[in-house]
Chains A and B, each alone.
Chain A
């Protein structure tokens, strides 16, 4: 009885779904955005370690500091990194005094002695303040666009670090024939919908002057800021990898010892009679 019932139900499902499979499909127009869209370029990163495998590797402190400089001088005009605290900058190799000085350049909301809202200079304990008070303010100032917070950007996009680098260096004036691009938007095949509201932020070599003598090229800026945003998204990356190496070494030794005792325990059973 169960099997007869199963047969009937089974036939019902099978015929139903196969009926759906033989239905003709509407010819959908090929999605041009999908055809134009490019995967991020492949770049070697210090924090990905040997072979760019991602297993070992530490951040290049000099690169992070340069990336922070690019962020501060270029990106921060529109984008916040609100999940990062000034004190976190110690990871980049900044001294306490330097961090205090950097924090003091920013104003954060506060309440004065009379209970009135006011602002004060930021301290190392504060987070990087938002650029716009809220989304409406951002859209009003940005021609309808809302510049996202960048703290987690490299983890919020597939292949995020390469994505940020590719997006920043991927603008093009050669808009393919047949592709509609409103005048207020820019053509960038690395952006998911191709037309992006952000104007090319890194316009020319020399836009940022590095203190450490590194050549100031657009390509270098893009790499440095992508590395910096990898750190803002995953500040514990180095700690994580170090712990991982230790954990796996420990587990390997433990498993090997376990294997030896397994061999010993089973020796009498595995011996053929």
Chain B
């Protein structure tokens, strides 16, 4: 589907015409990312992060394929093969640092992308499928990142695998069997490393497939926008190309500069030094922590310290950790406000920023050792995390008195221009 005023693909050359009649791939691209996709003209910089996430995945796949040419998935030599890449493979240090830092950056842009969606109500009708497919991508990313981290076969790889697969042992009756099945043994070993390598290579392509569905689902209603109101006329949109290709290119450039700064000047700043120690099943690190992008969920996992209703604390932690992500699938039905954008929802807007602060604070707690005051703090924050989505948001969305919405996107843009320049000759600044 598209808007009636969307430009139509016209093959200009004989070859283009020939192709269009047989396999209209150029037409497909034209309609997906080209002039054939009318896009709201008021998208701000936060709408750049979807494209950035796509680029981040491509960087991971390209660097990953090259790394796999030199990596050996065998517990006896895996760590050595990584060091071989760092020392003896031409440019290997760069490929490997790009892959390691790239994983962090992928999560960084995806978190911003998700929070963008939360703020502007991009999960609301008619974009529920788009939102849920995004969550599937997020879950796939988490599984892929975890298994990739294990491949290095350093201390944190090994003990991370032990802890994360150990979560499943909390399940009653079948738990231990599931853990053994996942690991291919009673503790992480060669079978674990081999299957994780296989899946780590597979899942990015599965992710890529789901991204195609995600983009497909995006193109049915078209992009949401900062006002959250629907596109009403051609005046509200600009063709994706050249407008957003040009804008996203600038964002991509800035992203790559920051990325390069980490890759080349502080490549190990986002990782744990312990993972430069080869895995040793006989020596447990003092402080087992996952990578930073898992910290909020790790904090939720560890926040449940008491048995409750006859269910052991450990199992509560595991259930809560999975629930903390799965509940997001219900978000379109928990938040029933007809207004999408938090720009027009005064109460919900405050709650959004409280939630951002809580999520960040949970991250800090998850990276800290399991001792006071961190445990108690993560308990309070975890309570808010669940209350926010399951209790507060459903009630607020019913009671909240929202601000009047602008008549159209272009009206909102013009109002902003007028305000920004104090009525005098307006300076270009609207589309932000």
Contacts and interface: CB of A to CB of B under 8 A. Distances in A.
Interface residues of A, number: 58
B21 interface: no
Nearest to B320: A13
Contacts of B308: 16, 19-20
A139 interface: no
B257 A251 contact: yes
Contacts of B250: 255, 258-259, 262
B25 interface: no
B17 interface: no
Nearest to B426: A272
A270 B431 contact: yes
Interface stretch (B8-16, B185-193, B195-203, B273-281): B273-281
Contact of A18 (B97, B252, B379, B417): B379
Interface string A132-144: 0000000000000
Instruction: With a 10 A CB-CB cut-off, give which of B286, B313, B376 has the most chain A CB atoms.
Output: B376
B303 interface: yes
B253 A254 contact: yes
Given A156-B273, A262-B249, A266-B431, A10 B417 contact: no
A158 B273 contact: yes
A10 B431 contact: no
Given A17-B304, A156-B273, A258-B246, 14 more contacts: A6-B390, A6-B394, A13-B386, A19-B306, A20-B304, A20-B379, A55-B265, A152-B276, A156-B274, A156-B277, A244-B260, A244-B263, A248-B264, A269-B430
A21 B376 contact: yes
A273 to B, nearest CB: 7
Interface string B80-124: 100100110000011001000000000000000000000000000
Interface string A240-273: 1101110110011011001101100111011111
B264 A244 contact: yes
Given A155-B268, A240-B267, A248 B261 contact: yes
A10 B268 contact: no
B391 A10 contact: yes
B139 interface: no
A272 B417 contact: yes
A120 interface: no
Interface in B288-315: 303-306, 308-309, 313
A259 B247 CA distance: 8
B265 A2 contact: no
A235 interface: yes
B330 A6 contact: yes
A177 interface: no
A83 B323 contact: no
Interface string A1-18: 011001101110110111
B305 A20 contact: yes
A192 interface: yes
Given A3-B333, A14-B386, A21-B383, A255 B254 contact: yes
A258 B87 contact: no
B148 to A, nearest CB: 19
B322 to A, nearest CB: 12
A28 B376 CA distance: 15
A83 B313 CA distance: 44
Contacts of B418: 272
A192 B386 CA distance: 37
B260 A54 contact: no
Interface in B315-343: 316, 320, 323, 327, 330, 333-334, 336
A247 B260 contact: yes
Contacts of A267: 428
Contacts of A39: none
A200 interface: no
Given A20-B305, A255-B254, A270 B430 contact: yes
